[in-house]
Amino acid sequence: MDTPGHKKAMTTLFLSQDKEMRALYEMRKTAQLDEQSALDYAETRGRSEVAMNLLRKGSMSTEEITEATGFSEAEITGLKKQRN
C-alpha cells in the first residue's frame, strides 16, 4: 500500500510516537502557516495600495479598479471611505 492516505497515516503514527519529532513537526507547520499569512498580508496590502493610488488619480471607474486589483466593488467602496 503506497497511497497518499497511507503515507499520511504512517507519518502521523510515527510523529505521534516520538515527542521530539512531533514538536519539530508542529514548529515547522507553524512556521509555514506564519510565512503564508505574511505573504497573504503583503499581497493584500500591495493590492490595496494600488487601488488607493488608482482612486487618487480619479481616472478609473470602480469597475475598472475591481478588474485591476481583484477586489470587489464593496471593497473598493470601503477604500474610498478610508481615503476621505
Share of the chain above pLDDT 70, in %: 81
Share of the chain above pLDDT 90, in %: 57
Whether the per-residue pLDDT at 41 is higher than 90: the answer is: yes
Contact partners, residue 23, CB within 8 Å, separation at least 6: none
- The pLDDT mean for the chain works out to 86
For residues 41 and 45, give the distance between their C-alpha atoms in angstroms, rounded to a whole number. 6
56 to each of 25, 43, 82, how far by Cα in Å?
46, 20, 12
Query: Can you give the pLDDT at residue 20?
Result: 81
Higher-confidence position of 15 and 7: 7
Report domain extents, the chain: 4-83
Whether the per-residue pLDDT at 53 is higher than 90: the answer is: yes
